[in-house]
Amino acid sequence: MNSPPPLLLLGLSLLLFLSLPTPSLAAERCNPNDKKVLLKIKKSFGNPYLLASWVSSSDCCDWYQVECDRTTNRIISLTIFAGNLSGQIPAAVGDLPYLQTLVFRKLSNLTGTIPSAIAKLTHLTLVELSWTNLTGPVPAFFAQLKNLTFLDLSFNDLSGSIPPELGQLTNLDAIHLDRNKLTGKIPEWIFTGDVPDIYLSHNQLTGPIPKSFGYYNYTTLDFSRNMLSGDLSFLFGSNKTVQIVDFSRNKLEFKLSNVVFPASLTSLDLNHNKIFGSLPEELTTLNFQYLNVSYNRLCGKIPTGGKLQSFAATSYFHNKCLCGAPLPAC
């Protein structure tokens, strides 16, 4: 049997390959600058398996973890989530000028600080850098990203205080700075305007809650597990719209008796503070799903009615002299 020599076959197929149009190149949508930047990012992480689809021979609009705009074909989203990625967020991220979404999430080997190059990305609307080992401060430069609607820096090792500049971000729907190592006071006039959901829990924040929080409407305020002190009653009032309030495990010290809770309130957790006085009668008119005032210095009879007797005794226990169902009779 005479088979063609292998070298000839190779030559023939090479010829065939070269004479064909190369469809991947012809149809490439990817912007060459974006591609160059992404490959630089990949390299800076040591070409990890997680970014294996990022190869120069293919269209970057087809790569995993990124998304191109349908008309401009520029990279608008970089979402790196749950994988084995080691190193720091490279400054090259700032060279994807049309980025709207930037996510680094659940990457325990992501370290270093949040690079200032991100400040160049003025189109950003969503930033989520969470569940990583990022350190350093919460950068004030986020205030320059006026179109941000969602900023999540939770579950990291960020330290220092909350930069007052973040108060300039008035388009935020939610801010998550919880589960870090933030210290200092909460700045006055921050997250006002219209920032409905604020999560600052599990930090080491001190001082009083700024009075400015009393002038606005919020949906969720989770400031639990800090060292906040003083009064909270100005957050409430009959014409407020707040729904979920968690200030548990702080050092709040104020009289609860005269606080007027809004009808919107569905969840109130104030456990482990130094709150005194008695439970206001009108708590019985609220449609609570959750209430916990345990470990305070409250006194007097738990008002009867509404949802108040539907909670376990642990919602009320460890107070100075609270009594009546579900606690023992007065």
Site residues (vs ligand NAG, CB under 6 A): 84, 86, 108-109, 122-123, 131, 133, 147, 155, 215-217, 237-239, 241, 271, 292, 294-295, 311-312, 314-315
- The count of other CB atoms within 10 Å of the CB of residue 101 is 18
Q: How far is the CB of 181 from ligand NAG (least distance, A)?
A: 12
- Alpha-carbon distance 279 to 146, whole Å? 42
Nearer to ligand NAG, 62 or 168 (CB): 168
Q: From the CB of 99, what's the least distance to ligand NAG, in Å?
A: 10
**Given the complex with ligand NAG, which of 37 and 268 has the nearer CB atom?**
268
Closer of 9 and 211 to ligand NAG (Cβ):
211
Q: Report, in Å, the least distance between residue 138 CB and ligand NAG.
A: 16
Nearer to ligand NAG, 64 or 215 (CB): 215
Among residues 69 and 253, whose Cβ is nearest to ligand NAG?
69
Buried b (16+ CB within 10 A) or exposed e, 170-192: eebebbbbbbbebeeebbeebbe
Closest approach of Cβ 46 to ligand NAG, in Å?
A: 7
Inter-residue contact 202 to 225 (CB < 8 Å)? yes
Amino acid of residue 213 = F
Select from 163, 155, 152, 96 the least CA-distant residue to 123: 96
Which residue has the closest beta carbon to ligand NAG? 108
- Which residues on neighbouring strands pair with residue 246, listed in sequence order? 222, 269
Q: How far is the CB of 315 from ligand NAG (least distance, A)?
A: 4
Of 67, 71, 114, 109, nearest to 90 by C-alpha is 114
Q: How many helices, marked H, and strands, marked E, lie in the chain?
A: 3, 21
